Structure 1
Amino acid sequence: MDKLHAMRVFIRVVEANSFSKAAETLGLPRASVTTTIQNLEAALGVRLLQRTTRKLNLTLDGAAYLEGASRILSEIDEIESTFTSARKTPRGRLRVDMPGSIGRLVIIPSIHEFHAKYPDIELMLGLGDRPIDLVQEGVDCVVRIGELADSSLLARRIGAIQQVTCASPAYLAEHGVPKTIEDLERHIAVNYFSNRTGRNLDLSFRRDDEVVDIAMKGVISVNDADAYVTCGLEGQGILQPGRFMVLPHLRSGALREILPDWRPPRMPISAVYPQNRHLSPKVRVFVDWLAELFERCPLLQGEDLPGDLCEKQKAPMEREGVSECVMM
């Protein structure tokens, strides 16, 4: 029996809390995963897992073995990466989850650059804003926008996004154009509620060092980015999408920026991964590439597109319009 392989399979089963999910993320038949665990328990002479119809529980021996195996594999991975990184390019499957807007309009149009540098990495990109369990779902890292709530995860800031406060001309014709923050008391917003908490997100405004968060009244709340922008275009209220998402509508006049002296604070973009997972070379190079990609696109910081810079990002927006906003 390959002990190191058995350790990796055991750890993945514990992380996923499922033989089936572990088999799927490892690319192995379920029967092979089951047999590996059975053989491991037989070789050790102890029961590592208590199996029920609904869940798996670690035994005391299983918890001790998990701690030791995790430490051993982490040390092996770190030693191997030290010797292989200089002479081998990263390889293997890399599963990343990210907001659809960032993925479709910024990352995917430039993904050929990443493949040209790292042809041996197979990317699996999940596009969406739903909360996920990185460990149980076997995701190597996620790209998230906004402040992070889960302190059990490690994060690296790789960029920032400028939002814009805007509304449709029809809405402004009916309700008037707000000139000050205080004027917003007489207005309504298209509210966006968090998939994680179910609560509406406040609109945020900044002028110099002063930041004001306002819980706006509204007649509709959504948790879908398409619907969020569409409601704004239909005159349902004031909204704060990412500027790069609505640039075509701002240029066409379908949406108008309001309160330009009180622009929303920039929202951080972070790459997030579990604490107990060794940051593999393939994750590291992908995150480095993302940081470089975001840095060279001024549109993400709220600037317009100068010349042909970010032309790859500009083309999908002009072809497809607005699909998703960058809220979580």
Structure 2
Amino acid sequence: MTFLLRSAAIFVFSLLLTSLALAAEVSWLEDVTTPPADVLQEASNTPPGIESLADWQKEREAIAQRWSEFLGAYHFADLPLEVETLKEERLEHCTRRLIRYQAEPGRRVRAYLLLPHDSGDAKLPAIVALHGTSPQTFDKLVGLAAEPERHMGLRLAEQGFVVICPENYLWEQKSYVASTTAALKPHPGSKGMAVMMADARRAVDLLATLPNVDANRIGAYGHSLGAKEAFYLAAFDDRIVAAVASEGGIEIGFSNWNAIWYLGPDVKQADFALSHHQLVQRIAGRPFLILGGEAGKGCADGKRSWPALISGQKVDQKFYGEPTRIGMLNHGQGHSLSWESGQRVIEWLVAYVKERPQKSP
């Protein structure tokens, strides 16, 4: 990226953050952004020698570059989407449309689009909703499987969001390993998470092409596997103005990040120099909420997640001002999503995506 383009990107990003400050806060913001006192000393500080917003923006780009070199990150932003509709159903609050589109040359991804009824000419907010680990893939999100509390795509569409639910590549072959091997074949040396992130960014690309979507009001949500994707999408794509990651495991040691379909075994090496604290810091300036279950089978986030979040809060406070909007709702219900927790997710995304000030036409 040239100096002029980088400067322009920094300027636009700063303007977006300024406009966000005008949005109404969730009433429970302080509850989820106040860390326990006994974890404060464990948090990473901002990088040494970074004292101004301009310095931080340079460091922010350097962090992205280091991570991209590790991941083999890529994005086919100019590739035609070639969207095709496979089927469509009219539901009470929205149309549920199964589509397929070109994610990268020679590879297509299925996704559900949930399109609220009767929006007229209004530009609507949008969400990339990323599903968890299930052979049913995106069915839970869109109301085709599981209990109602897991139908987060439908619940968000009922609130007036256009929602896209892309299908993760792990189910393209007979096993996760086979799917990862096939997906990485055109990208030697890349990591499985690079594919997930590229696919999520293509979902954002698609939303931005829809005439009834406000491209300046796009957020992200995911649970478990989807939480990992939502976290990385928010960290690397500034078009995501707010995100929620439910039970993904914010630190590399909290869950199976070393699996080849995520980051691979390199992250377990003693000399691995990258940290998820850096990615949380890249999200700083935008609302980012973790849902943690604290304990139980498969639980990934909880009180132990605070050091990573505090590292992002410190960047918030130093360069973007108060209040910080990086925090955690620790519901203590294990690796699950209750109706009440889902309602908090919706409130967060309504406040920081839907009700985010719109740009003048």
Identify the TM-score tier after normalising by the shorter chain: under 0.3
TM-score normalised by L of structure 1 = 0.27
TM-score normalised by L of structure 2 = 0.25
Which one has a bigger Cα radius of gyration?
A: 1
Which of the pair has the greater relative contact order for Cα pairs under 8 Å at 6+ separation?
A: 1
